[in-house]
A = this chain, B = another copy of it.
Amino acid sequence: MNSLAVDLNARLEGSVVMRLFSDLGKRIFFPKGIVAQSAEARTRGVRFDATVGMAYEKGEPMTLPLLRELTQPLSAREAVPYSPTAGIPDLRTTWQDLLAEKNPLLRGVKTTTPVVVPGLTAGISLTADLFVDPGDVVLIPDLFWGNYRLIFEERRQCRLREFSFFNENYRFNRRAFADGARAAAGSGKLVVLLNFPNNPAGFTPSPEDVAFIKQTLVNLAESVPVLLIADDAYFGLVYDKEAYPYSIFGEFAQAHPNLLAVKIDGASKEDFAWGFRVGFLTCGFKGITDDQAEALEKKVAGLVRGTVSNSCTPAQSVLLRLLRSETYQAQKRTARDILQARYETLHQILENQEAQQRAPMLKPLPCNSGYFMSFYCTPHNAEELRLALLDAGVGVISVGQSYLRVAFAGIDQEDLPELYETIFSVAEALGEQPGPHTNFLQESIEA
């Protein structure tokens, strides 16, 4: 093992991080090569910086005039140079400040400084690289984003163990979660991945449910190291007062010395900047020291270096300007209010008794947050219904055999009635097709 990895591991020795690291997590390090020597030259403010692979002219990054025009109003320094491996420092600290502002439980709490990664998927993928080995079990709700399969099953060769997200009363299934967690912990290590608001259901548990989740994991952390991954892709998009309004990372960042919490979030949904690919990876556990936090950030940065080198500079620069602007909060609130209005119209539509009677085969799952709602459409074949809807000019996602995911957040409020009218009509026209008669509580799905 490289001596730099040995050093980082020594700094993390005795902490939950070392108990959770994958083989790759143990091996990875941040090299003292070009990046470190180049940073040293910049710190020293040398007269001639001949360290890094970039061309400069009169102290400014050399760039094509057209590239400058196309990246207005950014300065050349904001647009074209490489960013540090872990991200633009001001962006990292600004995001950290905002995390505390948005999540009261994080105020005054020590965590790592968020590391910039090229999108939330990268954050989840790097977390998988760092902390799960082939054969490890990852506990997830049975309603989940299909890409988890590619990341955990195909890339990392883990086993996804699903628990029923909803109970028979269409509420968060505490028993299934607790049973699943206890069973998964039997392997001697517990990895839990939670995505609230949930994709595809658009559901966030209640504060009481979150307290139950926390107590369950803290209890298990007494006996096995626990990794809680919070996929906060849809953070902040909570429309109903009964749903837990913060990131669960706030509950877990200092919950137990044997429980590592990793928060994956970013600008994609929160700031309506999907294609920017700016995500953040933040870690915390009870008792984390400054030295451990720095060592952990270097582990993450080492993996960033070995997979993408660094993240997109103009996207980071635009985001930093956005977050620092005086109008940011107001503009975000306006956009969020539009989604809130769409959500409320959605609920008026779904609570209409007539529609429910016309298409009793479409059972809407609970939805209080996020971008999506899903129908359980037994006895239909969801794929058949999806194709019929395409013919009728409506694009939705079929999930497994029996689920249909509708991105209500992507549809103008005034169009929602027509959209759902079409869905109900097409379902009604298809009628009671013979199909697999499964109960939604028993069927494993992904979205």
A: residues with CB less than 8 A from B are: 2, 5, 24, 27-29, 31, 33-34, 37-38, 40-42, 44, 46-58, 61-67, 69-74, 79-83, 118-122, 125, 129, 146-147, 149-151, 154-155, 199, 233, 269, 271-277, 302-303, 305-315, 318, 321-322, 325, 327-328, 331-332, 335, 338-339, 371-372, 386, 390, 393-398, 406-412, 415, 418-419, 422, 446-447
Contact between chains at B48 and A155 (CB < 8 Å)? no
* Least Cβ–Cβ distance between A375 and chain B, in angstroms: 12
Q: From the candidates B38, B50, B61, B395, name the one contacting A49 in the complex (CB within 8 A).
A: B395
Q: 22 A-B Cβ contacts within 8 A?
A: A31-B150, A34-B447, A41-B395, A48-B415, A49-B407, A50-B406, A52-B407, A53-B233, A58-B412, A64-B272, A72-B73, A79-B275, A81-B274, A118-B277, A118-B308, A147-B305, A155-B306, A274-B313, A275-B310, A275-B312, A276-B312, A312-B315
A46–B28 Cα distance when bound, in Å, is 47
In the complex, chain B residues whose CB is within 8 Å of the CB of A24: 154-155
In the complex, chain B residues whose CB is within 8 Å of the CB of A65: 327, 331
Beyond A48-B418, A82-B275, A121-B309: 17 further Cβ-contacts under 8 Å? A27-B154, A31-B150, A34-B447, A41-B396, A48-B395, A48-B415, A50-B406, A50-B419, A53-B274, A67-B271, A80-B272, A119-B308, A122-B309, A125-B308, A150-B302, A314-B315, A314-B318
Which of A274, A311, A328, A331 has most chain B Cβ within 10 Å? A274
Contact between chains at A151 and B306 (CB < 8 Å)? yes
In the complex, chain B residues whose CB is within 8 Å of the CB of A311: 118, 277
In the complex, chain B residues whose CB is within 8 Å of the CB of A62: 272, 335, 338
Q: From the candidates B5, B51, B306, name the one contacting A125 in the complex (CB within 8 A).
A: B306
A441–B207 Cα distance when bound, in Å, is 66
Q: Quick one: closest B residue to A72, CB to CB? A: B72
In the complex, chain B residues whose CB is within 8 Å of the CB of A61: 272, 274
In the complex, chain B residues whose CB is within 8 Å of the CB of A63: 272-273, 335
Contact between chains at B53 and A371 (CB < 8 Å)? yes
In the complex, chain B residues whose CB is within 8 Å of the CB of A338: 55, 57, 62
Contact between chains at B332 and A64 (CB < 8 Å)? yes
Q: From the candidates B31, B42, B54, B125, name the one contacting A149 in the complex (CB within 8 A).
A: B31
Contact between chains at B150 and A305 (CB < 8 Å)? yes
Q: Quick one: closest B residue to A33, CB to CB? A: B146
A42–B233 Cα distance when bound, in Å, is 24
In the complex, chain B residues whose CB is within 8 Å of the CB of A149: 31
Which of A48, A80, A272 has most chain B Cβ within 10 Å? A48
Given contacts A29-B154, A67-B272, A446-B33, contact A277 B72 (CB under 8 A): no
Contact between chains at A54 and B410 (CB < 8 Å)? yes
A397–B52 Cα distance when bound, in Å, is 8
In the complex, chain B residues whose CB is within 8 Å of the CB of A55: 272, 335, 338-339, 371, 409-410
In the complex, chain B residues whose CB is within 8 Å of the CB of A415: 48
A396–B56 Cα distance when bound, in Å, is 15
In the complex, chain B residues whose CB is within 8 Å of the CB of A53: 199, 233, 269, 274, 371-372, 407, 409-410
In the complex, chain B residues whose CB is within 8 Å of the CB of A397: 33-34, 37-38, 51
In the complex, chain B residues whose CB is within 8 Å of the CB of A47: 393-394
